Amino acid sequence: MRHGNGIRRAALATTAVTAFAAAVTGILPGTAMAASATSSAPPPACAASALQVSAWQAANRPVGTGTGAAVVEFTNVSGRTCVLKGHPTVAGAGNGSPSQNTPLKVTPTGKAATVTVRPHGKAWVKLTFVQVQGEADGYCVSGNTPSTYPTMVIGLPSSGKHQVALDDGVWAECDDKVTATPVTAVKPS
């Protein structure tokens, strides 16, 4: 019996020392390698399902009656940090069928950098369109007919495509061209 109590005391002492070491270092035995490997790995690209997308007309936009420029906001709705990077692809949504989308020619501006987006964090792109002129149906300076779309499809490298409506109207543009900033952590105006 005494021998059993001695083993029990030794086990309790070992447990106490282990608990003290864990409290001091913050690492449990056997987890040191996993903890350091996890913290040094970069976050993955944001999955399409991790992003909620919204858009509105930009405060600073070209003169005209169309959309002119829009800010597209990507909110990380997942519980994990992820990254966004690059310039978007843009297409006018083909109502009811992705094969009917109208791709816009994107002219990228600025240098793309990786943007880390924490849970509930945000990142943005700004799109500047060839502006529609005039009243009513408007006109394009080029002579082309203006295009309007209830929604646009905005794609991001490794983060999927997102169909989004403007919060204050329809997307209106000329010539199927758009200038796009890269994803940024700074909200554009």
Mean pLDDT of 36-57: 87
**Residues 48-180, CATH architecture:** Sandwich (2.60)
* Amino acid (one-letter) located at 117: V
131: left (phi over 0), alpha (psi -120 to 50) or beta: beta
**What is residue 67's predicted lDDT score, i.e. its pLDDT?**
84
CA dist 151 and 169 (Å) reads 10
| CA pair distance 88, 96, nearest whole angstrom | 22
**Mean pLDDT along residues 92-114:** 92
Single-letter residue type at 62: P
Domain range list for the chain: 2-40, 48-180
How far is residue 68's CA from residue 66's CA, in Å, rounded to a whole number?
A: 5
Work out the number of other CB atoms within 10 angstroms of the CB of residue 118.
11
Overall average pLDDT of the 49-74 stretch: 92
- pTM, two decimals, is 0.77
Q: Which two tokens stand for residue 103?
A: 């791709």
pLDDT tens, 112-158?
999 999 999 999 999 999 999 988 789 999 999 999 999 999 999 99
Least confident of 12-16, 108-112, 176-180: 12-16
Cβ burial of 185 (10 Å; 0-12, 13-18, 19+) is middle
Q: Which residue has the higher pLDDT, 171 or 12?
A: 171
Under the banding of pLDDT at 50, 70 and 90, the label for residue 65 is: confident
Residue type, 60: N
